[in-house]
Every structure is written in C-alpha cells, then in structure tokens.
Amino acid sequence: MSPLMHNSAFEDNGINAEYVRFHVKKEQLPDAIRGIKALGIQGVNVTVPHKEHVMSLLDGIDPLAKAIGAVNTIANENGKLIGYNTDGLGFVEGLKKAAGDRLENKSMLIIGAGGAARAIYYTLASSGVRKIDVTNRTPGRAVKMMDACPFPLDSSFLTLEAAENELHEYDVIIQTTSIGMFPHIEDSPIKVNALKRGSIVSDIIYNPLETSLLKQAKEKGALTQNGLDMFVYQGALSFQKWTGIFPSYSIMRDTVLQQLGG
C-alpha cells in the first residue's frame, strides 16, 4: 500500500519524487544503506526483518526510536542518515482521533508483546499515559518489554483469562497481534463478554477493515477503530520527515481505501 499512498501525496504536493519498493536481503543491508547515501535518496521506510538490524548502520537515532529498539523511517538529513519510528506515533495520532479527549486520563490494555506492541506501548508512555496493562499468550516477552520501558508508567501483566474477566476496567483496548488478519478473519485474540459499553477497541489490522474482534466489540456497544488510521498517520509522519510537509491525511487514506476496495 505504501507506494500508492506516498505517490498520491507527492502528486498532491507537486513534489517531483517517487516512492518505490526495494527487496533487501539481510546480508545486503549494509550495502543498501551505503547505496542510499551514494545515490542521495532522501528517505526510506524500513520493514521487517530489518527494523532492528538497521539501527547500527545509521548516523543517528531519534531518542524514541532508540527506546523502542526499532526504526521504520530513515531520513537523509544533509548526508546523515537518521532513524525514526513513526509506528507508535501514527497509532497515537489515530487513537486521539477516535478518543476525542486527552489520552492521559484513559486506562488502557494492550494485547500482544511484539514489535508493534512495543512501539505503541513506549509511545503512549512517552506521551503521558500513566496506566497501560499488557496481556499476551506468554508472559516472558511482555514482562521484558514492560521492564525495559524508560518512561514512568503504572503497568501490570495479565494472563489472557484474567484480561477477559477484567475488560470492564479499561477505557481503551489495543489489539496488536496478527490474529484476525486475512485470511484468518474469524479468529479473535480475546473474548469481549466483560467489555464496558462506550470503551474504545482499536485493532491495528486493516485487512479486513473490520476484524472479528471489532464486530464483537461493536455489538457490545464499544467504539471501534481499525488499523487504517495508524497506517496512514505513520506514513504521513514519515513523509513529513523526508519533505518537511505534513501531507493530506484524507488523500492518503482515500488512496488506501480505494486499493482495499472499501
């Protein structure tokens, strides 16, 4: 989706540029980074499996990206390659859009403990949210993520069973795993029987646009949000790092929706 989304933003802003995809194997990563410099490429996005490995090859790392331990955006700043992470920031911008008020006042639960969860957890903590609990199938990775967070935070680990029983305690539930993604669209990571009416349930998946979890949450009276806002905002923030211009969110979002057939 990224090439279509970014190229629509370049066109809208009259910028003579093009976003293209490069397949880079792990052993080629150092050469690829040198190539970015040599060719004067203004910036790139980085996706799995390179988000962590690329960090040691850059000239500088933004403090939030350093805390998260992963880079998804590189900007060429006067010949210096600086790494950023816009995943968590993109999610927070989208969540603000859904929440309609200050996030600091919300009690939150994150489902999952992978790379996306870490970016969201740390970014929310850095933005002033004080209560974020985590649930995951296994505690090890989740506890490690929580213990390593450099920002002040009230946080506890819950088993999935405990989280299901205590869902009514949370204003915001954030689903960060791949459970429910196409083609396994009937799967759901958690039961929502105890969900509080009026809470926000955000699933970072955007294919399908409404996961099984979101359908069930909507039936319980929750406000639901898919992963489209996060995807578009993280892209817009990357675009801003490369060009100094924050692009039209609506144009980028419409481009992705059209491609998804929505």
User: What residues are labeled active site?
Assistant: 51
Instruction: For the chain, give the number of residues.
Output: 262
- Indicate the burial class of 259 (C-beta count within 10 angstroms; 0-12, 13-18, 19 or more): exposed
Residues 61-73: b if buried by 16+ CB within 10 A, e if exposed: bbebbebbbbbbb
Q: State the residue for tokens 């639901």.
A: 224
